[in-house]
Amino acid sequence: MSINVQNLVKRYGQVTVVQGISFQVAKGEFLSLLGPSGCGKTTTLRCIAGLENADGGVIKIGDGVVSAPEQGVLIPPHERQIGMVFQSYAIWPHMSVAQNVGFPLAIRKASTAEVARQVDDALGIVGMRHLKDRHPSQLSGGQQQRVALARAIVGRPKVLLFDEPLSNLDAKLREGTRLEIRRLQRELGVAAVYVTHDQEEALSMSDRVIVMEAGRIMQTGTPKDLYRRPSNRFVADFVGRASFIDVQKGPDANTWIAPDGTPIRLDSGRAEAAAHYQAMLRPEAIDLIAAGPEGMRPNGANVLKGRVYDSQYMGAHTEYLVNAAGTTLKVHSTQDFGPGSDVLVSFDPVDCHLVAVEDQAAKAA
Amino acid sequence: MTDKAIVPAASEFATHYAQRRSSQDRLLHGVYAATFVVVVLLVTIPIAALIYGSLRTSAPGNPGEWTLRNYAGLFTEGVLATMGTTLWIGLVSSAFCIVVGTAIALVVHRTDFKYGKFVNAAVGLAFYFPSFILAMAWIIIGAPGGIYNAVVDGILGMPWARADIYTALGIVFVMVLHQVPFVYLTMSGPIVSMDAIYEEAARTSGAKPHVVLYRVTLPLLSYSLISSFILTFIITIEQFAIPALIGIPGQVTMLATQLYLLVRFSPADYGLAAAVGLALSAITGTAIWAQRRVTRAGRLTTITGKAGRVAPIPLGGWKWAAYALCFGFVFLGLVLPMVMLIYTSLLKWFTANPFAGMYTLRNYAFIWESASALRSFWNTLVVSGIGAAIGVVLGLLCAYFTLRLKPKGYRALDLVASLPFGVPGVVLGLGLLWAYAYLPIPLYGTLAVIIVAFVTRFLPYATETIGGQLVQIDKSLEEAAWVGGATRLQSVFKVLLPLARPSVQSAYFLLFMAFFREISSAILLYSASTQVISISIWAFFEQANWGLASSLSVVATLIIFAAMSLITWLVPTARRR
Ligand SMILES: Nc1ncnc2c1ncn2[C@@H]1O[C@H](COP(=O)(O)OP(=O)(O)O)[C@@H](O)[C@H]1O
Ligand SMILES: [Mg+2]
C-alpha cells in the first residue's frame, strides 16, 4: 500500500521540527529520508508510525487516514499495520527469537500453529531459522538485526519503516544487509520508508531519496538525479563530495564568471532562483593534466590553471586539493603530482552544475 | 498535491474514530486518576493536618483556637538548644559514617583485601539490623550498670575507663554503627561502576596506587561523597529510636525525640509538637533539595555505566589497618550486639557477670505463651506482607505514569509522591494523629492506619527503585510492541512488566524489610491491639524487661536475616540496592 504525507507538521514545545512536508511513497517503492542528524527524519518516520502525534497535516496509509490532528484523528500505532525496524533493534530480551518474531501475530490472536508456521517462514527468509530458540543475549548484532527484520515483516504489514537500521553494524555486514533489506522489500511489494544519514546507503538502496534539512525537504529525486543534478548547494554538499566555485552571471545563460575572472561554461538547468550561485564539481569529473596552454579546448571542456596544494592518498585514487579559479577544488586522479606542481584542471560543462546558495551557506567552505 | 481529496475523507473518518478511541483509553486514564487521588490523599492529609495542628491551641479533636504561639515556641531556648544538638549530632555522625563507610567500601572493592566477600555480606546484614535493637544492645553494654563498666571497673579494676552510653557521644557512636552500612552501600555503586580508564590513565602516567586513590579516585567520587553525606545527615536527624532510647534517659534531646516527648508526656503540647515536626521537615526537605542539586551536577561529570576492572591496590603494610577497620566494624556493629542480646535473653535476671548468671529459656517460652507477643508478630507479618504489596503497586503505578505515560499533571504526581522523603517518621505519625481525629473514617487504632503510615513513608523508595529500572528500559522496546499490534496496556503486561520485574521484586523486598523494622512512624499511632513487633520490643525495654525485649529482638533479627537470605537466594536480582 502507498503512503501519502501532506503538510506534516510536528512541534516540540516552541520548536517546529517538521515544517509542513509532503511526499508520497507508491506501493512497492523504496524511499529514503536523508539528511544530517537532527533534521527531523526520525520524527517524520515516527509520525507515520504513530509513535509521535503529529501537530498538523494528513497522513494516509493506503486509503485510510491514520493521522489528521486538525480533524482529531490520530490512529494509535497498533492499529496502523506497519512493520518497523528500530535503530536499536528493540529486541525484547525476555523473549526467545521465536517469541520475538511471533509477537505481532500472537497479539492479534492468531492460532498457535499459524504463529509457528509464519514465524518459521519469516525466520527462513532472513536465514535465522536455526536460531529460533535462542535468547537475544546470545545473538550477535547482525543476528539481532535479522530478528528485528523478521519481526517487522511477519505480520504482512502494509508498509515497512526503517530508522537507521544499519548504523550499529560494522561496515562489512552493512553492505550485505543493504542488499538483503532491498530484496525483502521487493518480495513483499510494500511501500518502504528508510531513514538514514548515510548518503551512500540512501543512494545505493533507494528508488527515490528525499534530502531533508531543518525540517524541510531540500530536494526529492532518484539517486542519480540527486548526485548528478542537485538543485541547491546543500544537496550538492550533503550527497557525495563536491567543490564549489562562486560565480557571477556571464555573457550567456551557460557561461558564468569565476572570482578571478575566468569564464566557466556549465549546465545551469536545475538551479532554483536565488541571490547567489555557485558552480559545483564532483572530484571524479575533473581531470588533472601537467601544465600547458590554458583556455577552452576545442571539444568544449573548461581548462583552468591551478597548483596542487595538498594531497591524500586513498588507494584507488589520490585526492588532490588544487588552488584554481580563486578557490580550492577537490580532484580525484590516478596520476601522481607533487605538492606545489602547476597543473591544468579540466572538466566538461555537462559535469559542472549551477546550484543555488542560501545566504549563510555561501560563506561556509 | 491532493489536499482536497484527503481532508473530507479525514473528517468523515473522525467521528467514528473518536468513539472507539475513548473506550480504549478509558481504563488507563481511570487507573491514572485513581493513583493520583490515592497518592495525593496519602501524602497531603498528614502534612495538611500537621500544618493545621501547628496553628491550633488544643490537642487533636478538642475545641481550640487559631494561634501562632506554637511557632513562637520554636524560638524558645529549649527548642533552639534541641535544634543545635540535632544539627551537631547529625553533622558529626555523618562525617564519621562517610569516612568509615567509604574506607570499608574502598578496601573491599579496590584493594587486594582477602575477605571482601565476607565483609560485604556482613555489612549487608548490618544494614538490615534494626536501629532500636542496636541501641538496646549498646545500652546493655554501655549503661552505667552495663556489661562494659562491670568489666572495666569490677573485673579489670580500671575505674578511669568507665563510660556512659547515655550521652550525646553515645548517640553519635551508635548512630555511626547504624549508618555506616548505608554509606557503604551508597558508595559501593559509584566505586564499582567507576570507569577504570581514569585510574589506568593515572597509573600509566606514573602515579603509585595510593597516589591514584587520593588524586584521581576520591576526587572523581566527590559528588557521590557529598550526596551520600547529605543523605546520611538526613537519616541521622530523622532517626528516632537511637536518640529516644539513649537520649531520653541521658537528657540529650534531638528534634525527633522532642516531638515524641511533647506528645507522650504531660503536659502534652500537640501544637508545639506539630511546629517542631514542621521545623524538622524543613531541615530535611532543604537537605534533600541540596542533595538533588549535587546529584544532578555530578551526573554531568564522572561516572559511566561501564564497569571496568582495575588491578587491585596492594595493601602491603596497611593490611592490619584494613583488617582492624573491617572486622572491627563487623564486630561492633553486628556480632557484639547480637551476642549481648542472646546472652541477655537467656538470663533470668540481668547480670554483667556471665558466670553469676542464672540461665533460662523462659523468655523464649514467653513468646509462645503470650497472646500479645504472638499477635504483634502476626500484626507485623500482615503489615509487612500486605503493606509492602500495596506500596509496591502504588510505586509501580507512580513510576509508570511519571516516567512513561506522562499524562496531564504527571509532574504534580511526581512531586507529591516524592514529598514523604522529606518527612521524618515520627513527624508523619504525628500528622496522621492530627488527621485521624478529624477524618470521618474510623481508622485510628486499626492496623490500617499503621499500613497507611508505612506505605506513605516508604512510597518514594518504591517509586525510585522501580523508576530507576524503568528509565533503563529503552523506550523503543515498548514502541516495537505497539507497532507490532499491542495496545498500551498489552505492551505494559507483555514487555514493560516482565522487564521491570527484578526492580519490582527488590522494591517489595526493600519495603517488606523496612516495614518489619519500622518504629518511628508507628510509635505515636499504635494501640494495644495493633502493636507491631518493633513496638512490643520497645515497650518491654521501656518497662526495663531486658530479657523479654532481648528474646523478641533475637527472634525478630533472625527472621529478618532468614528472610533476607531466602529472598537473596530465590531472587538474586533483589539484592541490588
Ligand atoms: N522528544 C523530543 N523533545 C524535544 N525535541 C525533540 C524530541 N525528539 C526530537 N527532538 C528534536 O527534533 C529535532 C529532530 O529530531 P530527529 O527527528 O530525531 O532528527 P534526525 O533527523 O536525526 O532523526 C532535533 O532537533 C531534536 O533535538
Ligand atoms: Mg534519527
What is the set of domains in chain B, with CATH numbers? 25-54+361-577 (1.10.3720.10), 78-355 (1.10.3720.10)
The arithmetic mean of pLDDT across residues B422-442, rounded, is 87
Task: List the single best residue of A25, A51, A71 to mutate versus B (max B Cβ within 10 A).
Answer: A71
Enumerate the residues of chain A whose CB falls inside 8 A of the CB of residue B487: 76, 78
Residue B296, C-alpha cell as written in the block = 544532578
- CA-nearest residue for atom 23, ligand 1, is A42
The reported pLDDT for the residue numbered B12 is: 54
- CA B445/CA B414 separation, integer angstroms: 30
CATH number for the domain whose boundaries are A233-364:
2.40.50.100
Return the ligand 1 atom nearest residue A43 CA: 17
Return the ligand 1 atom nearest residue A33 CA: 21
- By the CB criterion, residues less than 5 angstroms from ion ligand 2 are A 42
Per-residue pLDDT for B89 more than 90?
yes
Residue B308, C-alpha cell as written in the block = 571496568
The reported pLDDT for the residue numbered B61 is: 80
Give the C-alpha distances (Å, rounded to integers) separating A318 from A171, A313, A330, A335, B218: 22, 4, 10, 8, 51
Within an 8 Å CB–CB cutoff, is residue B497 touching chain A? no
Which of A65, A92, A104 lies closest to B9 in CB terms? A65
Report residue B157's pLDDT band, with 50, 70 and 90 as the boundaries.
confident
> Position of cell 524538622?
B280
B576 close to B506: Cβ distance less than 8 angstroms? yes
- CA-nearest residue for atom 9, ligand 1, is A43
Task: List the single best residue of B2, B483, B497 to mutate versus A (max A Cβ within 10 A).
Answer: B483
B556 close to B130: Cβ distance less than 8 angstroms? yes
Within an 8 Å CB–CB cutoff, is residue B3 touching chain A? yes
Question: Quick check: B484 and A75 CB within 8 A?
Answer: no
Q: What's the DSSP call for residue A76?
A: -
> Position of cell 492506619?
B449
Enumerate the residues of chain A whose CB falls inside 8 A of the CB of residue B484: 78, 103-104, 107, 151, 155
CB neighbourhood size of B341 (10 A): 23
Report residue B182's pLDDT band, with 50, 70 and 90 as the boundaries.
very high
Give the C-alpha distances (Å, rounded to integers) separating B331 from B120, B177, B246, B336: 14, 10, 21, 6
Residues of chain A whose pLDDT is less than 50?
Answer: 361-365
Nearest-Cα distance to chain A for B7, in Å, is 8
Least confident of A293-302, B45-54, B139-148, B365-374: A293-302
What share of chain B has pLDDT > 70, as a percent? 92
The arithmetic mean of pLDDT across residues B40-58, rounded, is 91
Per-residue pLDDT for B30 more than 70?
yes
Q: B305 C-alpha vs ligand 1 centroid, how far in Å?
A: 24
Within an 8 Å CB–CB cutoff, is residue A99 touching chain B? no
Average confidence score pLDDT of chain B? 86
Alpha helices in B265-370 (DSSP H): 270-299, 319-330, 336-345, 362-369
Question: Quick check: A6 and B3 CB within 8 A?
Answer: yes
Question: Quick check: A7 and B10 CB within 8 A?
Answer: no
Single-letter amino acid, residue A51 = L
The reported pLDDT for the residue numbered B534 is: 92
The reported pLDDT for the residue numbered B573 is: 53
Question: Quick check: A107 and B486 CB within 8 A?
Answer: yes
Which chain A residue's Cα is nearest to B476? A90
Give the C-alpha distances (Å, rounded to integers) separating B342 from B103, B139, B141, B360, B552: 30, 14, 13, 11, 10
Single-letter amino acid, residue A39 = C
Dihedral of CA atoms A291, A294, A296, A301 in degrees, nearest 10, equals 20
Nearest to A31 by CA among A155, A191, A158, A146: A191
Residue B250, C-alpha cell as written in the block = 541521658
Give the C-alpha distances (Å, rounded to integers) separating B55 from B248, B420, B421: 27, 21, 24
Q: B484 C-alpha vs ligand 2 centroid, how far in Å?
A: 20
Per-residue pLDDT for B546 more than 60?
yes
Nearest to A243 by CA among A309, A180, A145, A194: A309
Q: A46 C-alpha vs ligand 2 centroid, how far in Å?
A: 10
Return the ligand 1 atom nearest residue A215 CA: 14
Q: A211 C-alpha vs ligand 1 centroid, how far in Å?
A: 16
Does A37 contact ligand 1 (Cβ within 6 A)?
yes
The reported pLDDT for the residue numbered B575 is: 43
Does A42 contact ligand 1 (Cβ within 6 A)?
yes
Q: pLDDT per residue over B254-284, tens digit each?
A: 999 999 999 988 888 999 999 999 999 999 9
Q: Which of A17, A161, A199 to mutate to test the pocket of ligand 1 (most atoms within 8 A of CB)?
A: A17
Nearest to B397 by CA among B444, B459, B312: B459
Return the ligand 1 atom nearest residue A45 CA: 17
- CA A44/CA A30 separation, integer angstroms: 16
Chain A and chain B share a number of CB contacts under 8 A equal to: 103
The C-alpha R_g of chain B, in whole angstroms, comes to: 26
The reported pLDDT for the residue numbered A109 is: 85
The reported pLDDT for the residue numbered B16 is: 54
Give the C-alpha distances (Å, rounded to integers) separating B394 from A53, A172, B389: 29, 49, 9
The residue count of chain B comes to: 577
Q: Chain-centre distance of CA B427, in angstroms?
A: 15
Sort B558 into a burial class: Cβ within 10 Å, 0-12 / 13-18 / 19+: exposed
Question: Quick check: A73 and B6 CB within 8 A?
Answer: no
Beta strand A30-34 pairing with A208-213:
parallel
- CA B253/CA B502 separation, integer angstroms: 41
Backbone angles phi, psi at A2, to 5 degrees: -90, 165
- CA-nearest residue for atom 16, ligand 1, is A40
Question: Quick check: B482 and A108 CB within 8 A?
Answer: no
What element of type H or E holds A17? strand A15-25
Sort B65 into a burial class: Cβ within 10 Å, 0-12 / 13-18 / 19+: exposed
- CA B569/CA B577 separation, integer angstroms: 15
Residue B59, C-alpha cell as written in the block = 490537642
Residue B396, C-alpha cell as written in the block = 509501580
Nearest to A129 by CA among A138, A140, A118: A118
- CA B310/CA B198 separation, integer angstroms: 10
Q: A37 C-alpha vs ligand 2 centroid, how far in Å?
A: 6
Enumerate the residues of chain A whose CB falls inside 8 A of the CB of residue B1: 6, 22, 24
Beta strand A3-12 pairing with A15-25:
antiparallel
Q: Which of A43, A53, A167, A218 to mutate to test the pocket of ligand 1 (most atoms within 8 A of CB)?
A: A43
Give the C-alpha distances (Å, rounded to integers) separating A45 from A278, B162, B258, B554: 33, 77, 62, 62
- CA A288/CA A308 separation, integer angstroms: 10
Count CA within 13 A, CB hemisphere, residue B60: 22
Nearest to B163 by CA among B145, B149, B146: B149
Question: Quick check: B17 and A50 CB within 8 A?
Answer: no
Q: pLDDT per residue over B67-81, tens digit each?
A: 888 899 889 998 999
Backbone angles phi, psi at B347, to 5 degrees: -95, 145
Question: Quick check: B3 and A151 CB within 8 A?
Answer: no
- Residue A230 contacts by C-beta under 8 Å, 6 or more apart in sequence? A219, A236, A239, A270, A280, A353, A355
Backbone angles phi, psi at B24, to 5 degrees: -70, -40
Single-letter amino acid, residue A50 = G
Per-residue pLDDT for B20 more than 90?
no
Q: A179 C-alpha vs ligand 1 centroid, how far in Å?
A: 29
The reported pLDDT for the residue numbered B342 is: 94
DSSP string, B444-510: TTSHHHHHHHHHHHHHHHHHHHHHHHHTTS-HHHHHHHHHTT--HHHHIIIIIHHHHHHHHHHHHHH
Does A39 contact ligand 1 (Cβ within 6 A)?
yes
Nearest-Cα distance to chain A for B458, in Å, is 29
Return the ligand 1 atom nearest residue A164 CA: 23
DSSP string, A49-64: HTSS--SEEEEEETTE
Beta strand A191-196 pairing with A159-163:
parallel
Report residue B310's pLDDT band, with 50, 70 and 90 as the boundaries.
low
What element of type H or E holds B379? helix B371-400
CATH of A3-226, one of 3.40.50.1820, 3.30.2010.10, 3.40.50.300, 3.40.50.720: 3.40.50.300
User: What are the sequence ranges of the domains in chain A?
Assistant: 3-226, 233-364
